[in-house]
Chain A
Amino acid sequence: MSGKKLLLIGAAGLAGFAALTVWAINTANPPRRTTASLTGVAQRPLTQLATIDVLPLNSANLVNLALGRRVGDTNFPKQVLALTVTCDLTAANLIIFDQSVSNTLATLATNLSFDFVQSPIVNPTIAQALGSTNQIVRFIARLQIQPSGSVSNALRGGVLTVAGRAHRDTVTGCLAPVPVHLDTDLYDKTFLLKDVPRQKDRDKASLIDRTGLAQVIGVLDVVADYVTNTVIIPTGNLSIRRSAEIIK
């Protein structure tokens, strides 16, 4: 065997090892499929009187803009929004995940700060059902929108503040989903947390497991059909669901 072939095999082996390592990281703490229902308000362009347009946005709309497509594009249902949170709870990111190849396509928003408080779940029924997961985390994440997209459709910047609760596996420290009927909390109404209905943001998989819920406010700098505008998000909800890698 020539030295060149050995080098190629070695490189292939290294690449394979790297791929396996990435897979291992993903399976230990996979991104969580996240659906969204945001209410945006934007200044209507070219009007004599100042006028506000109300724009409902969901996760598919955000993914389309970030990937340079028209807001309402429905041709790529497996390219979805997902939330990643490090197991030591130091950072959160919103990413665009391609479920057909289990690959991250782009990072929509990166972590500016992550604050949390944590508590054990005292309900024994829930703790038993969760296996090793018996901790709930309440978090506030500040995220910076990353410029992405095309000349015609894009996200140019902005910030989001996400406040919510999520279940955590006490062994790994990572966020973990639980059966949705057990994912209830006494303070959901107080903290304005609610699930995202299917009519607002379609998720191909059935809602069986859920990691948590969050509310979001913020600002997006958007380019839609060559028109640049600032969209304020006074209110919105996120539903943090199962692993984004699994398609049922």
Chain B
Amino acid sequence: MKVWLQLGVMTLVASGLLATQSIAGTSDVYRIQTLIHGASQWDLNNNPGTPRAQASQLRDVDLINLGRGRSLTNIVPANEHLALVTQCADNNMRIIVYDKTTQSNLVTLGYLQAISVIESLRGKRYTRNVISELTLNFANTNPSNELTGGIFFAAGSILSDSNQCLISYHANLIGALGASFFFTNTIVTNVTDITVTNTITNTYYVVSNFTVNVSSTVLTAGGKKLGTLIEP
């Protein structure tokens, strides 16, 4: 009887490990919550003497739309999530648009490449302080929303279990996004809250060399897994 009880406990422990560890050839996928605060340049070409900067925000749904090459006013389907892809004990991660229905990667927005890692072990939990470089690439299929991507520096903290599988990730990012908008009088309000008016000659406002300088961004991921991703 005692032997059965011990076996039962061992089985429970083993199944617990399987639940937290990613299987070889797969990665764990977690939902990302983010709000990018930045300042964007506009009105540079039409009024060279009085360039103006505007406070801007990008949400996770905006990043999904940019990644998918859609207008920022597009309603994001419920199955699409901004997600962090990670494997246990790996300091390099990916940011993707994840399709929860098909459990697949719709598009990879960028790679978080670790530059430097410092770790500590307290109890059964690892904390890894990671400085990473994040290069974001957006799909440029919509000429009126052509945010091209950018380079960020991320100061993050990965909390992980004894197998070094992710429990949570929290990072502060600073960097710049670049973009060009051509012949549009409907610059997306999600980015800039700019009310654009036509010029006297009634031609469309042209804003180019649009830059969003992002100097405060918090990115968090963790909690319950969205799913797993089978790696090629």
Contacts and interface: CB of A to CB of B under 8 A. Distances in A.
B155 A163 contact: no
Contacts of A230: 116, 118
A156 interface: no
A43 B119 contact: yes
Contacts of A233: 131, 155
B216 A119 contact: no
A43 B129 CA distance: 10
Contact of A217 (B40, B51, B54, B174): B174
A159 B41 contact: no
A142 interface: yes
A52 B159 CA distance: 14
Q: How large is the interface on B (under 10, 10 to 19, 20 to 34, 35 or more residues)?
A: 20 to 34
Given A52-B129, A217-B172, A117 B53 contact: yes
Contacts of B127: 52
Contacts of A187: 37, 39, 55
A43 B130 CA distance: 12
Given A50-B121, A161-B153, A187-B55, A232 B116 contact: yes
B50 interface: yes
A234 B157 contact: yes
Nearest to A221: B116
Interface in A13-67: 41-43, 49-52
A118 B155 CA distance: 26
A138 B215 contact: yes
Interface string A193-209: 00000000000000000
A76 interface: no
A232 B131 contact: yes
A153 interface: no
Given A119-B53, A142-B153, A163 B174 contact: yes
A81 interface: no
A117 B211 contact: yes
A230 B157 CA distance: 16
B196 to A, nearest CB: 17
B69 interface: no
Contacts of B55: 187, 190
Interface of A: 41-43, 49-52, 115-120, 136, 138-140, 142, 159, 161, 163-164, 187, 190-192, 215, 217-219, 230, 232-235
29 contacts: A41-B118, A42-B118, A49-B120, A50-B119, A50-B120, A50-B121, A52-B127, A115-B211, A116-B213, A117-B53, A118-B41, A120-B51, A120-B52, A138-B39, A139-B213, A159-B115, A161-B153, A163-B213, A163-B215, A187-B37, A191-B216, A192-B172, A215-B215, A215-B216, A217-B153, A217-B174, A234-B156, A234-B172, A235-B155
7 closest A-B pairs (Cβ-Cβ)? A163-B215, A119-B53, A117-B41, A161-B153, A234-B155, A117-B53, A115-B176
